[in-house]
Amino acid sequence: MAIKHPSLAPAERELTIHQRNLVDTNFEEGQYEAAIFVLDEITSRKCKPFPAHIRQLIYIALYPPPSIEDQLEEEAMKLEPGSPSKVLSRRHKSSLAPTPKAVASAQDLLKKLSRTNKPESLACAVPSYPDDPSLGLNNRAEEEDSYIAKQALRLQNARCCWEILKEGFIQRSGSDMMSSPRKPTSRRSTRGHYDGDDGWEDEDNDTPAPVGDHAWSVLDWLLALFEKDEAAVERAGQVRYSPLLLSQIPPSRAHNTPRWDVEMPLDVAFHALLQDGEAQRSLGVRLISLLINLTSTTLLDLNMFLNAVSTRVSSPSVDILSYLFSSLPPTQTIGHFKVMLCRHALGGSHTMSGKPKPQARARAQPRRRTRTTTDAAADASAGASTSADADAGANGSLGASNQPSTPNAQDTGADGASSVARKYPAISTSDVLELFTRASKLDAASVALTLSLKAELLISYALVQQNLGPNDRDGAWQDILHDGTLRRAVEDVFDLGRVSRSTDAHARELIRTKKDALFLAMSMW
């Protein structure tokens, strides 16, 4: 399951030895702002930065500012008796710590580089999983001389980019070894904790937040790399997905089977959605959108991802769920996924209990090739990634199994290579209508969530139908729109007289808003 990065842009040249030494000298002397300035001047679209320099930029960008406790400790150290050598050593380490101004400069340069350079040229300094799990992590050991370079090597001890974002990964310390994450100190840092049995918990605990208070800028930078990467893949003629993001998901133990363990990126995404700030919440939407795009290929197990997301969307508040659904881009891929997700969350397919234990069978992994006009036929079979998927496509249902899906044999072109595009299982109009009108025993906590999922099911299904070709649309969808069947179903399901007894005022207002939005949308379908 080799991960390649097709690109139509010209190759970027390496920095010269002289240019590298200019940057290294400033880093070694603790002149971080000067080093960042020089690096900014010598890099361009035609010249990529040295991986060690990128790693040091990331480390500085993640470096937390001094807290009140840190400042008091520094003042106490000045008054603490000790030998002159110890005092000088402490002051030297303190002087080598990145300043807040250096941190801001590093964050700004990372963002600039993400716009000017290829994403794979920058991601080479980010920890990632190898294609083959038996090969170990993609973090070659290096020897560094400067203080900041040695500190930045701790990024290579991480398995993936999600670990470097965690609260406490980088601390204000002179130790060369990565210390254990600091206990969360604020409610906002802990409310994103997810427990597989109890869902999302707001109460304080010892689990580090998936994203530290000072790591949001680096998360934004990583998402920019993934988005630019998937755009380059699409321009090369493939389905839109990011090989770089795929490398941040552990490979399956069975050779050449889809990756499936998305718990860490989903922790990051839903933690972001739980924040108060719009900038942070939007990062969660962008990450989920990137992950959904991975499901358009056979490289990520669709059923396992669907189960993981379905479990999580049943836990947060309706407001968060509505924000997520309304903020996701209105693409065909995301529309297909939202239909399947709503169907799965509403009980329209076999669901799983507990955390799955994958038992995938090894099969030949399809290689990517440039799409041509003949790919329409190849795509027809490329999506049959599981036997359950194949059955779902035949009878209009989604079969989520307890095992990760494996790519089935696919049509090949003259070059013998197979497409990785997946064709999503078809869901019929009658299946959608039956699920929408199905009666459910609801309590006050779940009625608003269930009706929100039903509303999103109709909206997403309508989007998918509108974007399909005339020969691929389900004629029954237009029938229920024109004969009033769908309108009567909406009136019945969202009848406030039936649901008001188990809802509060906020939920009733939300249900009324969803109902009005559905009628407005139906007038344009």
Torsion sign (Cα): 244, 249, 250, 254: negative
* pLDDT, tens digit only, all 525 positions of the chain: 455 566 556 789 999 999 999 999 999 999 999 999 999 999 999 999 999 999 999 999 999 998 777 666 666 666 666 555 554 555 545 678 999 999 999 999 999 999 999 999 999 999 999 887 766 555 555 566 789 999 999 999 999 999 999 999 999 864 433 433 444 444 344 444 445 444 444 445 679 999 999 999 999 999 999 999 999 999 999 999 999 999 999 999 887 899 999 999 999 999 999 999 999 999 999 999 999 999 999 999 999 999 999 999 987 788 899 999 999 999 999 999 999 999 999 987 544 333 444 444 444 444 444 444 334 333 433 333 333 443 444 334 333 333 444 444 343 333 333 458 998 888 999 999 999 999 876 666 688 899 999 999 999 999 999 999 888 899 999 999 999 999 999 999 998 777 766 677 888 888 899 999 999 999 999
CA 185 – CA 206 distance, rounded (Å): 9
CB distance 19 to 13 below 8 Å: no
DSSP-assigned letter for residue 426: P
User: Two tokens at 78?
Assistant: 């000045």
C-alpha 368/C-alpha 234 separation (Å) is 12
Distances (CA, A) of 88 to 92, 309, 369: 6, 53, 60
SS (H, E, C) 318-348: HHHHHHHHHHCCCCHHHHHHHHHHHHHHCCC
Residue type, 420: V
**CA-based end-to-end distance of the chain:** 41
Domain-by-domain residue ranges, the chain? Answer: 17-67+87-180
479, HSE (Cβ side, Cα atoms, 13 Å): 8
Q: How far apart are CA 455 and CA 58, in angstroms?
A: 42
| 337 φ, ψ (degrees, to nearest 5) | -65, -40
CB 250 within 8 A of CB 259: yes
Structure tokens at 211: 């994203």
- By 3-state DSSP, what share of the chain in percent is helix, strand and coil, each rounded to 5? 55, 5, 45
SS3 463: helix
Which tokens is 429 given?
Answer: 């109009």
- Residue 167, classed as helix, strand or coil, is coil
Count of C-beta atoms within a 10 Å radius of residue 338: 23
